[in-house]
Amino acid sequence: MEKLVLLNEVFDLLFTDSEEEESDNDIRVIKTHFKKCRNYVCNAVDNLPNHSTEHVPSNNHEDSVTFNGQVKTNENFVEHMVPKMSDKSFRQQFCVEPEVFEIICKDIYPFLYKKYGPGRNAIKLDKQVLMTLCYLGNIEALRSISDKFDVCTSTSWRIVSNVCNAILKLNENTHIIKWPNRKEAENTSKHYCDIYNLQGVIGCIGSCHIKTRAPVTSKNSYKNKDRTYSFPLQAVSNEKMEFIFYYVGECGSVDNVSLMEKSGLECQINSGTYKITKDQHLLGECAYPSRTWLITPYQEDEGGGLSDGQTFFNTMHSECLGDIKRSFVLLKERFQRLHYIDSLQSSTIRKFIAVCCILHNICLKNSDISEENIEYQVEEYENVSQRDKYETEEVTCKRDLLMNLLYE
């Protein structure tokens, strides 16, 4: 038994607990290092005195997990423990309902499955998806998750990355996050009109920060207004709090105007790729530029206040924007990893954020939503208080018309 323990310790030293994707060169170096020391280790353990091969459980349960108050070994966690979980316990562990988990497995199978040749058996699809959901839905260290699923850390990281890539491919093919068609836009507009009496609203746009580790270079570029390192997430949500558009920015110091320009949203709308009629529009905070398709609140002129009608319009406008704020809160509460992504690779960070947005829509489309004990507070970009000096007369007239329609 001492031989196995010693070999296991050497293996852990070689395959460090890193949450970064290894390059092919790194893998070659590790394998070479392992082969060189393997003979030495085998000779060393041969000289160890013989003892009983009976396994003695550890008193501190380092190789175990707790489930329903009982300590269980990690072996066969997926095969034996997961099927016995209640729906509530399953959701706490994997952040989705069991039915949604089955849908995810079924949908990504064509993008993840590959025919393996001779050699070690491939890890089952359900285990790979469970590991990925466990990683995205918790702030638990990857090493701890690896122990729970009885795989090494490097394998866990590769599985999470592969499953995330499959989910991105799924979205490209099935358009889980997509701009609304004519009927969907009309339904959204009717919802906001019936509740807030605001005409033509087909979505709300907003932004939030996803905190990350400090980068090695250009640190100041990644600092937001709170002086923390982050990546910005810009999204548009509908009345169901589903995302109909999203964009993950490059660094946290980018303001909303620049973020919208980089996202290509305005180009898509102006080119007609994203359909939006003249009487339809999005709602956004005053940090966004005013457009005929993007209505922002009234801003006070220098030395003057707002009229009662303008104040009432701003109130209704703010109530509508609550949906995008709630969308961000639901996203972060379900996928706890978004509170802090411990990675230095910007591509990896952006991939995780995008995958969480896609899974967010999958959950909502399948009625998997829980708002219990959720406080709707989300970090947003600082609003601009001054009046938009580039606002056109056409935009002003449209906002005034919407204000007047509130009283009809």
Chain segment 244-269, per-residue pLDDT in tens: 999 998 887 788 888 999 999 999 99
Is the model more confident about 272 or about 16? 272
Where is pLDDT greater, at 365 or 378?
365
Question: What is residue 366's predicted lDDT score, i.e. its pLDDT?
Answer: 94
Element (H, E) at 246: strand 243-248
For residue 300, what are its two tokens?
């006070």
pLDDT band at 392 (very low <50, low <70, confident <90, very high): confident
pLDDT for 56? 33
Beta-carbon contacts of residue 342 (< 8 Å; ≥ 6 apart): 19, 212, 213
Please answer whether residues 124 and 159 qualify as being in contact, where contact means their C-beta atoms are separated by less than 8 angstroms.
Answer: no
The pLDDT value given to residue 228: 87
Element (H, E) at 196: helix 182-196
Mean pLDDT of 177-195: 96
CB 1 within 8 A of CB 53: yes
CA 23 to chain centre: 24
For residues 334-357, give the mean pLDDT.
94
Give the model's confidence band at 375: pLDDT under 50 very low, under 70 low, under 90 confident, else very high: low
Q: Which of 33, 357, 15, 30 is nearest to 170 (CA)?
A: 357
pTM of the model: 0.79
Whether residue 194 contacts residue 323, with contact meaning beta carbons closer than 8 Å, is answered with: no
Distances (CA, A) of 89 to 80, 86, 93, 156, 179: 14, 5, 6, 22, 34
What phi and psi, each to the nearest 5 degrees, are found at residue 236?
Answer: -120, 130
Interval 43-48 mean pLDDT: 52
- Would the pLDDT of 104 be above 90? yes
Give percent of the chain with pLDDT exceeding 70.
Answer: 74
CA 391 to chain centre: 34
CA 261 to chain centre: 22
